[in-house]
Amino acid sequence: MIIDVNAYLGHFAFRRLRHNTAPSLLALMDSKRIDKAVVSSASAITYRNAQAGNEEVAEEVRGHSDRLIPFTVINPFYAGWQDDLKICHEEFGMVGLRLYPKWHNYQLASPCCRELVNAATERGMVISIPIRVEDNRQRSWLLNVPDVPLEEIVDLVKAHPKARFILLNGIGYTGCPLGRKDNGLPSNYAIELSRLSAVLANEIGRLITNLGAERVMFGTGMPFNYPDPALVKLEVLDASEADKGKICSQNAMTWLRL
Amino acid sequence: MTILQTTLSSPQLRTRMSRRTLLKGSAGVALGAMVLPSARGAAIGQSAPGVSTGPQPKGKVIDCHAHLTHHSRATWEADDRKLIEAADKLGIDQLCCSTLTPRWPATADGFRECNRWTADGMRRFPDRVLGYCYVNPGYSREALDEVRRYVGDRGFIGIKLYNEYTCTEPVVFPIVELAIELGVPILHHASHCHYFVEDQPRMSDGGHLAELARRYPEAMLICAHISGGGDWEWTIKALRHAPNVLLDTSGSATDEGTVEMAAAVVGVDRLVFGCDSSMTAGMGKIRGAELSAQDKEKILGGNMMRLLRRRKA
């Protein structure tokens, strides 16, 4: 089984996405033999009211809950986020959330964000943080949204040892405490592999060595990205079948309680 | 299927993936065989986006944009070996390599040293590494001598130009004219960002390359890394009417639809596969593209081979 913890539905403000409806994403997943995917709203990245994007995703995934696992996008500085979180969790069945601190212009260390992380954790929700949405070099002339610095993630995971984080679309973890062995950090975060190398520097292999295969998860970033590069990484990764099994699906199943 | 199952259970074979395996988009099959108690049944068999239902790509696979490691890096030898091992795993037959100086602009001594090392790489990895001669056009005489020495006499397959000058600056023209004389391509670093790239003030983009191509319609130009060069949609559109510019698909970005748009706008005959060290991104993009096996064959190696055959004696 393959579970993709890094997928999206809806539109992105700066580029046309294909395969961004539930039927078309499922068709793409079928063609790549990806069984399940965690999806959130791509539109909510730039909507002022992210909840409108969450509602769109809730509608899209209806009838596909066996394959598409919806996450909510919450901006903790936007009015009514507590209500949105409650609705998304209790009514829409969203078992996790995605945070966009740079796109939504807040600090991970801010009290509002800390309050959101605590509230989500109390609900048993997984919190995923895309380190980036797209390559910054191709950004629109309208904006300049930096990647989330990994140092800010270090502080976050330390401050919330009971929370569970999945870090998406990141790279360079082995160059900071997050990817180092015996780093003194709680083991409350997992790292998704879509941008990590499986050859040459082989960051995936180094993370398996340093943190254990239990802390690495498969993800593609589809439909922003082709799913194939992530699948190729799995194919060429020099790891045991047991470790690949954990990365492909077992870790996600444990974290998402599937 | 047998090959895939064997590959994943055999350490020897795991290090040398079958090219056919990688190109036919079979990761799901492979991993399914490994960990799936039951495949997804009928849904898997459906024709769907990304599925190559016809024949799989054949022929030589050539990475048009690769680099050997500068020898100032202590691990250069191991790094070069890792590059070849990665190519082995990904089914890449040949890599068109340059060695770049760690700092720019390159001095004449700097690029000479790099080209010696590229030649050394060709000796260390015969028939795997093909050489680009890297020069800084600002050193006019030295650069032309270097191209004559390495392309003319020592079998390098083309010229690599970086960001020392924008490709439309007159100082670049003698290099282009020599490339035409020798019948070899120029791989030109390029990027189009919607902001000023401070550390590369003379960066070329697709528009510059199109302008150069109009000036020299006999030149064979390759616009480097459309997937690592800023706004790829802009680049593809800028090159639509420049038939003697090929687009190198390399770069770390893996945006879905890139290869298909490039194929639709400029045609598959003008696309050449590359990685620029982003190995799985490079191969994954081609594998994921919704194109026929024949089109992928052209991109993966056929177009580059066609280009290399135009070399003059």
Task: Give all domains of chain A, ordered by start, each with its CATH number.
Answer: 3-256 (3.20.20.140)
- CB contact under 8 Å between A30 and B17, yes or no, is no
Q: Which residues of A touch B190 (CB under 8 A)?
A: none
Mutate to test the interface with A, among B199, B280, B287 (most CBs of A within 10 A): B280
User: pLDDT-based confidence at B48, cuts 50/70/90?
Assistant: very low
- CB contact under 8 Å between B283 and A233, yes or no, is no
pLDDT value at residue A191: 98
User: pLDDT-based confidence at B38, cuts 50/70/90?
Assistant: very low
Q: Which has more pLDDT, B58 or B2?
A: B58
User: pLDDT-based confidence at B24, cuts 50/70/90?
Assistant: low
pLDDT value at residue A126: 98
Q: Is the pLDDT of residue B258 over 80?
A: yes
Mutate to test the interface with B, among A228, A243, A247, A248 (most CBs of B within 10 A): A228
Phi first, then psi, for residue A130 (nearest 5°) are: -70, 120
User: Do residues B159 and B184 make contact, with C-beta atoms less than 8 angstroms apart?
Assistant: yes
pLDDT value at residue B180: 98
pLDDT in tens, B135-180: 999 999 999 999 999 999 999 999 999 999 999 999 999 999 999 9
Q: Which has more pLDDT, A58 or B19?
A: A58
Q: Which has more pLDDT, B122 or B25?
A: B122
pLDDT value at residue B201: 96
- CB contact under 8 Å between B27 and A33, yes or no, is yes
User: pLDDT-based confidence at B57, cuts 50/70/90?
Assistant: confident
pLDDT value at residue B25: 57
Burial of B145 (0-12, 13-18, 19+ CB in 10 A): middle
Mean pLDDT of chain B: 87
Q: Is the pLDDT of residue B6 over 70?
A: no
What is the helix (H) or strand (E) element at residue B98, kind and residue range? strand B94-98
- CB contact under 8 Å between A199 and B82, yes or no, is yes
Q: Which has more pLDDT, B150 or B12?
A: B150
The closest CB to that of B285, out of A144, A223, A226, belongs to A226
pLDDT in tens, B299-308: 999 999 999 9
**Segments in chain A below pLDDT 50:** none
Domains observed in chain B:
2-45 (no CATH), 62-308 (3.20.20.140)
Does the CB of B9 have a partner CB in chain A at under 8 Å?
yes
ipTM of the prediction: 0.96
Mutate to test the interface with B, among A231, A234, A247, A249 (most CBs of B within 10 A): A231
pLDDT value at residue B23: 65
Task: State the DSSP code for A149.
Answer: P
Does the CB of B88 have a partner CB in chain A at under 8 Å?
no
Q: Is the dihedral of CA B100, B128, A227, B7 positive or negative?
A: negative
Does the CB of B83 have a partner CB in chain A at under 8 Å?
yes
CA distance B84 to chain A (A): 9
Which amino acid, B303? Answer: N
User: pLDDT-based confidence at B46, cuts 50/70/90?
Assistant: very low
Q: Is the pLDDT of residue B29 over 50?
A: no
**A191 beta partners:** A167, A216
Q: Is the pLDDT of residue B9 over 70?
A: no
CA–CA distance, B228 with B189 (Å, rounded to integer): 10
- CB contact under 8 Å between B14 and A141, yes or no, is no
Q: Percent of chain B at pLDDT above 90? A: 81
- CB contact under 8 Å between B17 and A229, yes or no, is no
